Structure 1
Amino acid sequence: MTILIDRDQVISSPALVPAAGDLARDHGGAELTIGLINNMPDPALKATERQFMKLLQAAAGTRRIRFHCFSLPSVKRSSEARWHVESEYSELSELSRHRFDGLIVTGAEPAAPELDQEPYWRDLTELIDWAKVNTRSTIWSCLAAHAAVLHLDGIERRRLPAKCHGIFDCEAVTHDPLTRNAPAPLKVSHSRLNEIGESDLVRAGYQVLTRSKQAGVDVFVRQYASRFVFFQGHPEYDALSLQREYLRDIGRYLARDREAYPHLPVSYFDAATEERLARFEKQARHQRHPALTNELPALNLRADIAAGSAAAALFRNWLRYLAADAEASAAAR
């Protein structure tokens, strides 16, 4: 799937970032080619496309972006999702036939105890090695970031005592073009069961750009021929993504597909909703049955979560980096 993204395009998604018209715009400039390797699980497949499209549109201003979608062929899919990928996405072999300015690689739902045992591991590591020398910069998101540092430097992630799930205030800890003019604090969605330790990253030569007191390392980078940017969080998540995950996990608990009842996402629901959900949790623990999902209370989000423009600011700076690098390369020829 190849889409030309421009500022007047309508992309339906309840984004956490402001509408494109609310952001400072870049004025013109060369068209950029961006690839999305979308490995998200089937229920989030199409939503992830829309979220990254909307985020890039908000960040690009008047700059045009040629947007290509791919997915690792070894990611297990339902027949419906496989049909969508086969009919709407480009084949992964097309990556080597075009010059991509930037690449965005998402994680996938874990299926094996260890990352290097995942069925898509070989495809993913080949992609990591290819991106090092064939893109100007590549973004690795959440599980993809964990997989990349494991392959590149043998850094293993650690299991958290509880899921890191919510919207966290992150602070810039290093001056870097990627965080220039970003809001303080940066409000970032995280949803993960594991983490990469900051000391391990620094010891291996990575530079940490942002961190949260609660969630730990947020954004970190490393320079190869391509600038690799790693997100432990999910900058693309729209306003309802965490809610959908939380309700999914409640459903799995009630269906006995998971043992532990899910914790509330941090700094996400308003106080009244948290009280209603606490009462529902007590009921669910005593009446554990899938039909109980019909009695879930009305959910309202905190009023301040939609104010965060962290993702748009970071991606706007990323696109500027890609454009500047492209112009420098052209001038050097």
Structure 2
Amino acid sequence: MNVLIARDQGIASPALVPAEDDLARDRGGAELTIGLINNMPDTALKATERQFMKLLQAAAGHRRIRFHCFSLPSVTRSPEAKWHVESEYSDLSDLRRQTFDGLIVTGAEPVAPELNQEPYWRDLTELIDWAKVNTRSTIWSCLAAHAAVLHLDRVERQRLPTKCHGIFDCETVTGDPLTRDAPAPLKISHSRLNEVAEDDLSRAGYEVLTRSAQAGVDIFVRQYASRFIFFQGHPEYDALSLQREYLRDIGRYLAREREAYPALPLSYFDAATEEKLARFERRARQQRHPALTNELPALTLRADIDAGSAAAALFRNWLQYLGANADAPLLAR
């Protein structure tokens, strides 16, 4: 997938993207090339594309962004999702034949007990090594962040006693251009079963930018030839992303695809909805059947979740960093 993004126009479909020569004749501002390595589960695959395209379009300013989608070929896919990737995404081998200013690498649904046992581990570690010297900056999200620090510095993630799931207030730890003019606190969605500890990151030379009293480390960075930015959370999530995950997990519980009933996302649903969902949970534990999903109550989110405001500032600042360094030569190809 090769999409042209600009703030003053709609997002062009792949068939409408101008050729490189056409763009060179009519630039109207600096152009950046950004790749998305989308490894999210099948149910979130297309939503993730849309979320990042919308964020980049809102943050683009006068810039035009040439946006390419890829996915690691070793990520297990359903036939429908595999068809979407094969027909709409660029082949991963094309990544190494082009110059990218920035890269965004998402996490994936874990299927193995250890990260280095995941079927996509080799592909992912090769990508980490490539991005260090072939991008100006790369964002590593959630599981991809855990994989990157494990591969680079042997920083091990730790299993949490319960899933970190909800919207958390994150405070700025140190001044950095990435968090300039960001709202305080940053309200960030987190959805993970593991974490990397701040002490381990600091000992390995990483700089923590934001943290939450409840969720721990949020954003941290390290400078290589490329500036690596790590998100333990999901600032790109839209208002309904956590709801979709929660309902998916309820469906899996009722279908006996998971044993534990999912906990409510923190600071997400309003009080009346939490009461209704608690009643539904008691019923689901007694009448465990997939058909019960048809009787889920109407859901209302809290009014103060402020979805997207933190991501808008973070991605605007990231694009400014890429634009300011666009003329600097990359160290390797």
Amino acid across the alignment from 1:107 = G
**How far apart are 1:9 and its partner, in Å?**
4.2
Amino acid across the alignment from 1:249 = D
- The reply to whether residue 257 of structure 1 matches residue 279 of structure 2 is no
Task: For 1:16-165, list aligned pairs within 5 A.
Answer: 29-165=29-165
**How far apart are 1:247 and its partner, in Å?**
0.4
TM-score, normalised relative to structure 2: 0.92
**How far apart are 1:306 and its partner, in Å?**
3.3
Structure-2 separation of matches of 1:282 and 1:78: 32
Partner of 2:209: 209
Q: Is the contact made by 1:3 and 1:68 (CA closer than 8 Å) also made in structure 2?
A: yes
> Deviation string for 1:291-312 (max 9, x for gaps)?
1111100001111223651111
Amino acid across the alignment from 2:240 = L
- The reply to whether residue 299 of structure 1 matches residue 299 of structure 2 is yes
Tell me: CA distance 1:153–1:46, structure 2 relative to 1, closer, same or farther (3 Å): same
- The reply to whether residue 310 of structure 1 matches residue 310 of structure 2 is yes
Q: Is the contact made by 1:29 and 1:323 (CA closer than 8 Å) also made in structure 2?
A: no
Structure-2 separation of matches of 1:143 and 1:9: 33
Partner of 2:19: none
Structure-1 separation of matches of 2:329 and 2:154: 32
**How far apart are 1:285 and its partner, in Å?**
1.2
- With a CA cutoff of 8 Å and minimum separation of 6, indicate the structure with the bigger relative contact order: 1
Structure-2 separation of matches of 1:10 and 1:111: 37
Q: Secondary structure at the match of 1:5?
A: strand
**How far apart are 1:328 and its partner, in Å?**
4.7
Q: Is the contact made by 1:186 and 1:308 (CA closer than 8 Å) also made in structure 2?
A: no
> Deviation string for 1:220-242 (max 9, x for gaps)?
00000000000000111111110
Q: Is the contact made by 2:276 and 2:297 (CA closer than 8 Å) also made in structure 1?
A: yes
> Deviation string for 1:270-304 (max 9, x for gaps)?
11111110111111111111111111000011112
Tell me: CA distance 1:308–1:109, structure 2 relative to 1, closer, same or farther (3 Å): closer
Q: Is the contact made by 1:187 and 1:310 (CA closer than 8 Å) also made in structure 2?
A: yes
Tell me: CA distance 1:124–1:307, structure 2 relative to 1, closer, same or farther (3 Å): closer
**How far apart are 1:329 and its partner, in Å?**
4.7
Task: For 1:270-289, list aligned pairs within 5 A.
Answer: 270-289=270-289
Q: Identity of aligned pairs, percent?
A: 85
Structure-1 separation of matches of 2:178 and 2:127: 23
Partner of 2:23: none
**How far apart are 1:62 and its partner, in Å?**
2.4
Bigger drift between 54-63 and 264-273 goes to 54-63
Amino acid across the alignment from 1:41 = P
Partner of 1:320: 320
Partner of 1:224: 224
> Deviation string for 1:209-230 (max 9, x for gaps)?
0000010000000000000000
> Deviation string for 1:180-217 (max 9, x for gaps)?
11110001000000000000000000000000001000
Q: Is the contact made by 2:131 and 2:226 (CA closer than 8 Å) also made in structure 1?
A: yes
Q: Is the contact made by 1:39 and 1:45 (CA closer than 8 Å) also made in structure 2?
A: yes
TM-score, normalised relative to structure 1: 0.92
Q: Is the contact made by 2:186 and 2:310 (CA closer than 8 Å) also made in structure 1?
A: yes
Root-mean-square deviation (CA, aligned residues, Å) is 1.3
Q: Is the contact made by 1:171 and 1:212 (CA closer than 8 Å) also made in structure 2?
A: yes
Structure-2 separation of matches of 1:110 and 1:59: 31
> Deviation string for 1:249-268 (max 9, x for gaps)?
11111111111111110111
Bigger drift between 302-311 and 198-207 goes to 302-311
Unaligned runs of 5+ in 1: 12-27
4+ residue runs over 6 A deviation: none
Partner of 1:198: 198
**How far apart are 1:29 and its partner, in Å?**
3.8
> Deviation string for 1:122-168 (max 9, x for gaps)?
00000000000000000000000000000001111000010000111
Q: Is the contact made by 2:239 and 2:307 (CA closer than 8 Å) also made in structure 1?
A: no
Structure-2 separation of matches of 1:315 and 1:66: 15
Q: Is the contact made by 2:160 and 2:195 (CA closer than 8 Å) also made in structure 1?
A: yes
Q: Is the contact made by 2:111 and 2:118 (CA closer than 8 Å) also made in structure 1?
A: yes
